[in-house]
Amino acid sequence: MIKLSLASDHAGYEVKEELKKYLISKGFHIEDMGTFSSESCDYPDYIKEAAKKVALGECDFGIGVCGSGVGVSIAANKIKGIRAALAYNEEIAKLSRRHNNANFLALGARFLSVDDAKKIVDAWLSAEFEGGRHQRRVEKIKQIENLGE
């Protein structure tokens, strides 16, 4: 069973909740890292926890939702081992997995319908990393990530 960590801020709360129900109905195990209401909050607090679950291997993939998706992608990418991709359509979602081996998906709730978000998540989760020349590039990303050590 694939384990997913989910997180959002207040702007992404409703989309996250709909995605959670949808993904559970499809047989995914969900770790919901919050937020748990539509009250104003700070997305880094929740995205950090969801991304850590993926980086530590406790979840296979993560999905974060905020108003634009930009904040989620920036925050998640600060966690070593995370390759977060902001996807706004199915093709970008597929490419982020196929070419970048993205392990965290960022979505912008203010720019997507719930149905579109579901389609993007389906496309992302069904895509496979192609490896080959793309593996070399992912390795170079890991080298950049290790510059601070």
Active site residue 10: no
Q: Find the catalytic residue in 10, 41, 99, 134.
A: 99
Q: How many CA atoms lie within 13 A of 82 on its CB side?
A: 32
99 is catalytic: yes
**Nearest to residue 44, comparing CAs of 11, 65, 72, 85?**
72
Cα separation, 84 vs 66, whole angstroms: 14
**Catalytic: which of 10, 41, 59, 66?**
66
Q: Exposed/middle/buried for 146, CB within 10 Å: 0-12, 13-18, 19+?
A: exposed
The catalytic residue positions are 66, 99
